[in-house]
Amino acid sequence: MPDLLSYENAMLEDDLARALEQTTGAFRDDYEKILSDVVTPTAGERGISTSASVSAVGVVSGGRDEVVVLPFLTQTTTADGARSSVSGSRVEVTMARVGDGWKIAGVETDLRVYGQVSGRRVAGRHA
């Protein structure tokens, strides 16, 4: 999660490519659109950098090929000419087995699902 939500403005392209490599399925498509349509232009215009860290994580459910976890995040964001802001959140993250590893297949926040404004969606399906 930290790599998914962290980037330095000076290394934006590399950081966002690394973040995208951690994703899979329909979520990857949604997240790529958010990165290109929102994050890249906004971070470039405002000189935004952000750093996320996980303070705790719990397992919501698990199976052989999919697990849902609940990490508690702290995110520090800075922009050119502005003070840093720190925010905390919890997100529900669906991880899917891809080959011998795990990738992020869905992220749901308290307010919305990345890539979809309304409804509950995890890993490309409505719940």
Task: Quote the pLDDT of residue 127.
Answer: 39
- Looking at domain 2-126, does it have CATH number 3.10.450.50? yes
Question: How many other C-beta atoms can be found within 10 angstroms of the C-beta atom of residue 4?
Answer: 20
Q: What is the pLDDT of residue 110?
A: 62
Task: List, for the chain, all residue ranges whose pLDDT scores fall below the cut of 50.
Answer: 111-127
Structural domain boundaries of the chain? 2-126
* Per-position DSSP letters for 47-105, written without gaps between them: T-EEEEEEEEEEEEEE-SSEEEEEEEEEEEEE-TTS--EEEEEE-EEEEEEETTEEEEE
At residue 19, the pLDDT reads 93
Residue 117 CA to residue 111 CA, distance in Å, equals 9
